[in-house]
Structure 1
Amino acid sequence: MSAAHATPAPESSGVPESAVQRALEWQVTFWSGEVTPRERAAFDRWLAQDTDHARAWSQVQRTGQRVRSLTGPVEGEALRAADAARSASTRRTLLRTVGLFATAGVAAYAARNTAPVQSMLAEHRTGRGERRDLLLPDGTRLVLNTDSAIDLRFTTQARDVLLRAGEVFIATAPDPLGAEGLASRPFTVHTQHGAVQAIGTRFTVRLSDGRSMASVDEGAVRIQPRLTAASPVRLEAGQRAWFSATAVESPVASLPGDSAWTHGRLVAERMRLRDFLAELGRYRSGLLRCDPAVQDLVVSGVYPLDDTDLALSTLAHALPVRIDSVTRYWVTVRARAG
């Protein structure tokens, strides 16, 4: 699969600056994933009002800013009202990142290379609760977890996966160039913290909480933090390790759930309820909260990721908790009365 081309800076095409700015604002609105039918209709009216609007929108699209698919509101009006402050903050952040640089090519390039924007523009991405299988031209199998994004950089020297957000499982295949008598290309997953090079393996790499994690099912990997010249740390099958841009934590035994998500399962082994709900919340839209009174309850078992409502119902039968739902998108787990 060919690498995605670098996104050019916005062109100088005589389109009014105000129209380009508004087009970028619409782009960010679509990126937010919270577009209502009313907003969609307003966008259609704006686009039809003036040929400059259509030209501005076309120019924004030519910069490679892909609009996420719009099939209707992601969340109900109740969640939008309850979570308005967070939604507004998200949009303001994106506008500060992108819209501020609407007419400056160099600054637009810098904005494009921030982590949130790179994630939005990634070659392959998944939405909340979605998983996706990818078969690469070399025979390697990738599985993208929920809310994840990657870019591919395959050249004659290397096979690189750039993990922009979330989590990816990789089952590497031998490099076909090696079978042709050429030097085999290394297979490496890069995150903002460093590189994880495969050594004939099945492994997972995850971005979370300002650091990265690698977990090995089969074979081995080498982890090289981005900002250190120290020797890479080798992980063997059955090991996992978190790493930052400067160091790799001591390897520990992999957890049963490190790759169980590829089969649609969340495996909990003596997890704190708060941690369990944080993990389950990655797979559903809206807010999933844990009452501090029950956050230290211990959860064990196997729960379905493709039906998180069923997972919550099962949890309520296993623990002395109840599930309080304002809407499907605003759920709190509390102590069971009595």
Structure 2
Amino acid sequence: MSQADLGADVVAQAIDWRVRLASGLAPLDEHDACVRWRAEHPSHEQAWQRLAVFDGRLDGMPLPQVSRTLRQRDRRTVLKGLAVLLGGTALIGGANLGLRDSPWLAEQRTATGQRRRLPLPDGGWLQMNSGTALDVVFDGQQRRIRLLAGEIMVQTGKHAAERPFWVETPMGSLQALGTGFSVRLADDSALLAVEQGAVAVHPGALAHAAAVIQAGEQVRFDRQRLFAVQALDRDALAWREGFLVVRQWRLAQLCAELGRYRSGVLRCDPAVADLLISGVFPLDEPERALAALGRSLPVRARYLTRWWVSLEPA
């Protein structure tokens, strides 16, 4: 990782901590975690202190406005100081450091394990899964969601003729054709699943090419191409009701999926990684799900700390 990339990440994390603590609702362990983060590296504390000038202006603001204030008004101040922090290597301007597309600066976010339903100005709605970050841009000409991380389910309103509805992702753009659909981002691809209507997919490197995915279908895509269209996996949409439905999954796959809904590290020992499991697990109680595994498989959850858990042979 370059110095500039490291600097952008540090600034984004500092802004995120400021936003969370400015809400006045952060529990004590959040404050303690922030103190530990500041102590991890001198650059963390320097980025934190450069944001301190805004503390008085954040009091009483709604969280989206806090985020916008730090993102729009403080960016140049912080980045000027960041040039010194990085030994003169930083370039002034958010785009140069990749901050524009950072999930840390999104206007709408869900924490690990949190899900939230968000009404849209056109009468539609979207539901955000755990660890999701996005921006909503609605005006007289457009309806646009910028999905930066995580997973959403969208139900569009009835303004398609006047204002097309788009979801932008790092992998490409999706145009809703009067529909209900979900989008999930992975590190190197995205998955579109269409429940109602249809969605046109435009991979990022193929600006003028599009494929239309119909209701009952899903497709994975990256910036270069679309993969094979498949039948919709409705089990994968059960997160909206707070459940994870698995059918003959490897334990390692289940471990990775449950890890999306709990803070810290959830590790699967290679000795049990290939065990198969089926079941329905509550996403709001991942510790309960881990305990249930021991009743179905010869495994146990070993807690090194509350943040570090390993699934091992019983």
Q: Please, what TM-score do these two structures have when normalized by structure 2?
A: 0.75
Report the residue type matching 1:166 in the other structure: G
Q: Is it true that 1:106 corresponds to 2:92 in the alignment?
A: yes
Using a 3 Å threshold, how does the CA distance of structure 1 residues 320 and 226 change in structure 2: closer, same or farther?
A: same
Equivalent residue number for residue 149 of structure 1 = 133
Equivalent residue number for residue 265 of structure 1 = 243
Deviations 1:142-167 (A, max 9, x none): 11110111101112222110001111
Q: CA deviation at 1:237?
A: 1.8
Equivalent residue number for residue 8 of structure 1 = none
User: Secondary structure of 2:106's partner?
Assistant: coil
User: Secondary structure of 2:113's partner?
Assistant: coil
Q: Could you tell me how far apart the structure 2 residues matched to 1:190 and 1:106 are?
A: 26
Equivalent residue number for residue 39 of structure 1 = 35
Report the residue type matching 2:173 in the other structure: A
Equivalent residue number for residue 186 of structure 2 = 208
Equivalent residue number for residue 255 of structure 2 = 277
Q: Could you tell me how far apart the structure 1 residues matched to 2:193 and 2:130 are?
A: 17
Q: Does the 8 Å CA contact 1:119/1:149 hold for their aligned counterparts?
A: yes
User: Secondary structure of 2:178's partner?
Assistant: strand
Q: Could you tell me how far apart the structure 1 residues matched to 2:123 and 2:145 are?
A: 14
User: Secondary structure of 1:246's partner?
Assistant: coil
Q: Is it true that 1:325 corresponds to 2:281 in the alignment?
A: no
- The structure with higher relative contact order (CA 8 Å, sep 6+) is 1
Indicate the structure (1 or 2) with the bigger Cα radius of gyration. Answer: 1
Q: Does the 8 Å CA contact 1:143/1:168 hold for their aligned counterparts?
A: yes
Equivalent residue number for residue 64 of structure 1 = 69
Q: CA deviation at 1:333?
A: 0.7
User: Secondary structure of 2:236's partner?
Assistant: coil
User: Secondary structure of 1:292's partner?
Assistant: coil
Report the residue type matching 1:163 in the other structure: L
Q: Please, what TM-score do these two structures have when normalized by structure 1?
A: 0.70
Equivalent residue number for residue 130 of structure 1 = 114
Deviations 1:167-213 (A, max 9, x none): 111011212xx7xxxx4211111101101111222111011122111
Report the residue type matching 1:268 in the other structure: V
Q: Is it true that 1:164 corresponds to 2:148 in the alignment?
A: yes
User: Secondary structure of 1:185's partner?
Assistant: coil
Using a 3 Å threshold, how does the CA distance of structure 1 residues 246 and 137 change in structure 2: closer, same or farther?
A: same
Using a 3 Å threshold, how does the CA distance of structure 1 residues 24 and 170 change in structure 2: closer, same or farther?
A: closer
Matches within 5 A, 1:1-338: 27=14, 30=17, 35-36=31-32, 39=35, 55=53, 64-65=69-70, 100=86, 106-111=92-97, 113=99, 115=101, 118-175=102-159, 183-229=161-207, 231-336=209-314
Greater shift in the superposed pair: 131-140 or 222-231: 222-231
Using a 3 Å threshold, how does the CA distance of structure 1 residues 233 and 144 change in structure 2: closer, same or farther?
A: same
Q: CA deviation at 1:304?
A: 0.3
Q: Does the 8 Å CA contact 1:122/1:149 hold for their aligned counterparts?
A: yes
Using a 3 Å threshold, how does the CA distance of structure 1 residues 38 and 283 change in structure 2: closer, same or farther?
A: closer
Q: Could you tell me how far apart the structure 2 residues matched to 1:185 and 1:250 are?
A: 30
Equivalent residue number for residue 24 of structure 2 = none
Deviations 1:51-89 (A, max 9, x none): x985476799897336xxxxxxxxxxxxxxxxxxxxxxx
% of aligned pairs identical? 37
User: Secondary structure of 2:70's partner?
Assistant: coil
Aligned pairs, how many?
271
Q: Could you tell me how far apart the structure 2 residues matched to 1:157 and 1:39 are?
A: 44
Using a 3 Å threshold, how does the CA distance of structure 1 residues 56 and 102 change in structure 2: closer, same or farther?
A: farther
Q: Could you tell me how far apart the structure 1 residues matched to 2:103 and 2:67 are?
A: 18
Q: Could you tell me how far apart the structure 2 residues matched to 1:62 and 1:308 are?
A: 29
User: Secondary structure of 2:292's partner?
Assistant: helix
Structure 2's unaligned 5+ residue stretches are: 1-9, 21-29, 40-44, 59-65, 72-80
Structure 1's unaligned 5+ residue stretches are: 1-22, 67-94
